[in-house]
């Protein structure tokens, strides 16, 4: 596969396959958020949905991860029915962007490339991304949109990002190794252009 430019890696290639994958990622995110969650505090869940952006990011890049998490959260809000929380959707989208940076630093999971060096960079991205998304972005939008008290929002955001980071690290890293191993066994097969 030809080396892509940085911009291309960030944006992803928006062909039909990406669109379908992002849509399925969003649907998975929504379903897991509604049915696969364990409540922690108000507005926050210890949910396995947070791994979906990792998978989408690994396959297609950070922007598709952002879109699938954002749309997925909106869908989760609609089917789960706790009202629409755009602040959390935006926050989840931004966190997903950082989490989905995998191909940008050379972890091509689809080609079976994922080692401990990538795992460490991934862990840093997860912590920084969640910190920015739920420590800065979500509280700003919460106060802007819903007039939530900043102190309470901040505590919720901390609880939310800790549970997200836990899920993304504890579940995400082994999952990446599994996916990389699965893809590696198939890399000898080349698609004829």
Partner 1 sequence: MNNRFVINYTPGPTYLHQLSGFTKVLLFIVMTVAIISTYDVRILWPLFFICLAQMISMKPNWKPIIFMFLFTFVTVTLLGNVMLFVVSPDAGLNNCGTETIIWTSKTGRFYISKEWLWYVFAVFTKRTASFASVMAFALMTTPSEFASGLNKCGMPYKVCTIISLAYRTIPDIANDFIDIRNSMMMRGVELGKKASLGKRLKNNVTLLVPLIMSSFGKVTGIANAMDLRGYGKYKKRTWYAEHEPTKADRLVRGLTIALAVLTACYIVWSKAIDPWPAKIWCPFSDPSQIRNVSLEESFFLFRWLKSLFQ
CA-CA distance, 153 to 147, in Å (whole number)? 10
CB of 79 to partner 1, least distance (A): 6
Among 13, 120, 124, 150, binds partner 1 (CB under 8 A): 150
Name the burial class of residue 88, with classes exposed (0-12), middle (13-18) and buried (19+) by CB atoms within 10 angstroms of its CB: buried
Nearest C-alpha neighbor of 172 from the set 67, 98, 93 = 98
Q: Per rule CB under 8 A, is residue 186 in the interface with partner 1? A: no
Residue 112 DSSP label: T
Residue 8's Cβ-side half-sphere holds a number of Cα atoms within 13 Å equal to: 6
x/- site string to partner 1, residues 21 to 60, per CB under 8 A?
xxxx-xxx-xxx--xx-xx-xxx--x-x--xx--x---x-
* Dist. CA 140–CA 134, nearest whole Å: 9
67 binds partner 1 (CB under 8 A): yes
Interface residue list for partner 1 (CB under 8 A): 14-17, 19-24, 26-28, 30-32, 35-36, 38-39, 41-43, 46, 48, 51-52, 55, 59, 67-68, 71-72, 75, 77-84, 144-152, 154-156, 167, 170-171, 175, 178
């Amino acid at each position: 596969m030809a080396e892509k430019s940085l911009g291309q890696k960030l944006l992803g290639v928006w062909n039909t396959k990406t669109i379908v994958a992002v849509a399925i990622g969003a649907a998975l995110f929504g379903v897991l958020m509604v049915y696969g969650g364990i409540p922690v505090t108000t507005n926050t869940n210890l949910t396995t949905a947070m791994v979906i952006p990792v998978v989408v990011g690994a396959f297609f890049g950070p922007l598709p991860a952002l879109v699938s998490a954002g749309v997925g959260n909106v869908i989760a809000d609609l089917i789960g029915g706790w009202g629409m929380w755009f602040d959390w959707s935006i926050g989840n989208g931004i966190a997903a962007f950082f989490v989905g940076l995998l191909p940008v630093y050379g972890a091509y999971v689809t080609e079976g490339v994922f080692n401990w060096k990538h795992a460490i960079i991934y862990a840093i991205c997860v912590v920084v991304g969640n910190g920015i998304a739920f420590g800065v972005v979500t509280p700003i939008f919460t106060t802007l949109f819903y007039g939530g008290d900043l102190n309470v929002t901040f505590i919720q955001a901390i609880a939310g990002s800790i549970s997200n980071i836990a899920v993304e690290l504890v579940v995400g890293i082994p999952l990446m190794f599994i996916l990389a191993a699965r893809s590696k066994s198939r890399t000898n097969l080349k698609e004829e252009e």
